[in-house]
Amino acid sequence: MATDVHQHIWTPGFAAALRDRDTPPFLDGWTLHLDGEQPYETDPRDHDVERRRALDADLDLALVSLSSPLGIEHLPPHEAWPLLDAYHDGALELPAPFGAWAGTCVTEIDPTRTAAALDRGFAGLQLPATSVGDAEGLERAAPLLDLLEKRDLPLFVHPGPARTPGAPAWWAAVVPYVQQMHAAWYAFQAFGRPRHPRLRVCFALLAGLAPLHTERFIARGGSTRGVVDPGVFLETSSYGHQAIDAITRVTGIEVVVLGSDRPYASPAKTLLGAAAEQQMRCTNPARLLGATGTPATTSALSNEGAEPR
Q: Output the pLDDT for position 309.
A: 29
The predicted structure's pLDDT at residue 174: 95
Distance CA 246, CA 21 (A): 43
* 186 CB-contact burial (10 Å; exposed 0-12 / middle 13-18 / buried 19+): buried
Q: Does residue 181 contact residue 159 with C-beta atoms inside 8 Å?
A: yes
Give the sheet arrangement for strand 26-28, strand by strand.
Answer: 26-28, 31-33, 40-41
Q: Where are the alpha helices (DSSP H) in 157-240?
A: 171-174, 176-187, 193-195, 214-219
Residue-wise pLDDT tens for the chain (309 aa)?
999 999 999 999 999 999 999 999 999 999 999 988 888 899 999 999 999 999 999 999 999 999 999 999 999 999 999 999 999 999 999 999 999 999 999 999 999 999 999 999 999 999 999 999 999 999 999 999 999 999 999 999 999 999 888 889 899 999 999 999 999 999 999 999 999 999 999 999 999 999 999 888 888 888 765 578 999 999 999 999 999 999 999 999 999 999 999 999 999 889 999 999 999 999 999 999 997 433 333 323 233 333 332
Give yes or no for a contact between 83 and 18, defined as CB atoms under 8 angstroms apart. yes
DSSP 282: I
Q: Could you read off the pLDDT of 12-22 as tens digits, one per residue?
A: 999 999 999 99
Three-state SS annotation for 111-134: HHHHHHHHCCCCCCEEEEHHHCCC
